[in-house]
Amino acid sequence: MNIHNQGQYFSNRNRSEYFGNLSCDSSELLFLDPDNGFEPEKSCGEKHVTYKEVDDLLCKLKPQGVISVFHHFRRIPFEKDFKRIKERLVGCHATAIYWHSLMFVAVSKSIEAISYVINANRNYSECYPVKMIL
């Protein structure tokens, strides 16, 4: 496990630099933990990750790589929010698992990788009170 830019404060002013120097040569799973999750429809702050940033990172990963994004509840049902997230994630596959006020969205260019995540989420959901979204 590597923590990228540990100790560096992430802000709107250093977004390009922060993600630009990320080396994904050997990474297969990248976990993004913005405070709030994906950018909302009307604005994007330092507590969000943009769809462009996710797309750029996917291009750096190996084809079977997966990005997992922490996403916080936005006062709309997760199913509806996830549907909109998927519409904005062009050219990739996604699935999610959620409970209470948080969701983890898994994104990949590979349908096989997302199938693997779906199976892992399904197994996890059999033991714990979480819900899956395909």
Mean pLDDT of all residues belonging to the chain: 87
pLDDT at 73 over 60: yes
What lies within 8 Å, CB to CB, of 109 at 6+ separation is 58, 61, 63, 65, 91, 92, 93
Q: How high is the pLDDT of residue 35?
A: 83
Which tops the pLDDT comparison, 75 or 27? 75
| Residue 14 predicted with pLDDT over 80 | no
Choose the weakest-confidence range: 45-49, 66-70, 80-84.
45-49
> Would you call 9 exposed, middle or buried from its count of C-beta atoms within 10 A (0-12, 13-18, 19+)?
exposed
Q: Which residues share a beta bridge with 29?
A: 66
- Which helix (H) or strand (E) covers residue 19, if one does? helix 15-20
Q: Hey, what are 50's tokens?
A: 């943009």
Q: Give 7's pLDDT tier (boundaries 50, 70, 90).
A: confident
pTM, full prediction: 0.86
**pLDDT computed for residue 26 by the predictor:** 55
- pLDDT at residue 49 above 80? yes
Position with higher pLDDT, 16 vs 91? 91
Q: Identify the pLDDT of residue 108.
A: 96
